[in-house]
Structure 1
């Protein structure tokens, strides 16, 4: 066999090998979402060596009621992801914008049972389940998919400040300060994303990152 033919044959055999190695190294999805709210750093000994491991805060929900009057706990949200926000129904500013953007998220994942939307009122004295039901209908909330939750005022404020670690609300409506952030929580209760709920670009990022999280759950299933 001529040298040129030998070289050409060698290259032909080498190309698929290189392609396989490239795909094996770079072909997997390496885009991972950060985890927020570190609580502490633990040290554990592995193989005679000490390793440092960050322990992240897990969101704990207080007793709350949905717009249908049903009691909701953290166990009801532990089977997938949820997007949380804090609002009140009489809010004239950012709340309607955020709710409109959440409509987009709901529509995108309408048939995805592992994702839910969870809106906590910061004005429970006014926002009874009946009032929340009217608000939910206004924004086309799908029952069981988009939950509007009310409960004890101090417990809801602690949820915002101590669990999600948002700036503390001040006063009562119309002077109530609230957050226009959307917050992505995984099935372990970890905060995985923060987004400006009034920004269409940020909503696109939220939709993308929800897809990333769901894909990572798919890969964890046996047989994948």
Structure 2
């Protein structure tokens, strides 16, 4: 009995409450309190390897120790993508020059969005920074990463495959350990402000 009580007290003492919640699955149910062991077993973003707007390889290895926002777009999009890009730019401007914060924009039409197209899009939107990667690669890999790892379409995405077009305004925040910590509507300015607050909090962890 004493041993059980000691174990429970130890578990409680190892449990921490976070200012920014964790999300472990497509339901995006927030977890505010978690112990160290459970934290280590949380969902991690799967490894990936893509090509950026400069023709250089960018992979999950480049994200070790980094906090980042991930979104999915295409260069010919005239609807939600321009709004999303503009709101991400506001977030970027807040963290400009901070190498601990990165931004990843994955093309959902990689068969169209070549390196040259991504570079032209970056130039047109004044994206000239090593902190913001525009990424292209195999469509199947991008779609699976978006739906099965970032849960960017939330629960609806789990039943879809790489033949179904991916188009979402959601932006995902990932911490330095590869855990999902936020989901935001990229077309809403208030959500951009919320993302800034959450990233500021993660920088203090």
TM range (shorter): 0.7 to 0.9
Describe the superposition over 1:39-73 as per-residue Cα deviations: whole angstroms up to 9, x where unpaired. 9xxxxxxxxxxx98363110023220000011111
| Residue 75 of structure 2 is aligned to residue 89 of structure 1 | yes
Label 1:38 to 1:160 Cα distance change in 2 as closer, same or farther (>3 A): closer
Q: In structure 1, what is the equivalent of residue 97 of structure 2? A: 111
Q: CA deviation at 1:161?
A: 1.1
Structure-2 separation of matches of 1:109 and 1:169: 35
- Structure 1, unmatched stretches of 5+, are 1-29, 40-50, 217-224
Q: CA deviation at 1:162?
A: 1.1
SS of residue matched to 2:70: strand
Q: In structure 1, what is the equivalent of residue 167 of structure 2? A: 178
CA contact (8 A) 2:67 2:174 kept: yes
| Residue 50 of structure 2 is aligned to residue 61 of structure 1 | no
Describe the superposition over 1:123-177 as per-residue Cα deviations: whole angstroms up to 9, x where unpaired. 00000111001111111113311100000111111111111123247767xxx44
TM-score in terms of structure 1 length: 0.72
User: How does 1:146-161 map onto structure 2 within 5 Å?
Assistant: 146-161=132-147
Structure-1 separation of matches of 2:54 and 2:161: 26
Q: In structure 2, what is the equivalent of residue 219 of structure 1? A: none
Structure-2 separation of matches of 1:160 and 1:52: 26
TM-score in terms of structure 2 length: 0.78
| Residue 196 of structure 2 is aligned to residue 196 of structure 1 | no
Structure-1 separation of matches of 2:112 and 2:133: 17
- Structure 2, unmatched stretches of 5+, are 1-16, 27-35
Q: In structure 1, what is the equivalent of residue 88 of structure 2? A: 102
- Which structure carries more relative contact order (alpha carbon 8 Å, separation 6+)? 2
CA contact (8 A) 2:108 2:166 kept: no
Q: In structure 2, what is the equivalent of residue 187 of structure 1? A: 176
Describe the superposition over 1:15-53 as per-residue Cα deviations: whole angstroms up to 9, x where unpaired. xxxxxxxxxxxxxxx7511111259xxxxxxxxxxx983
Q: Aligned residues, how many?
A: 173
Q: In structure 2, what is the equivalent of residue 33 of structure 1? A: 20
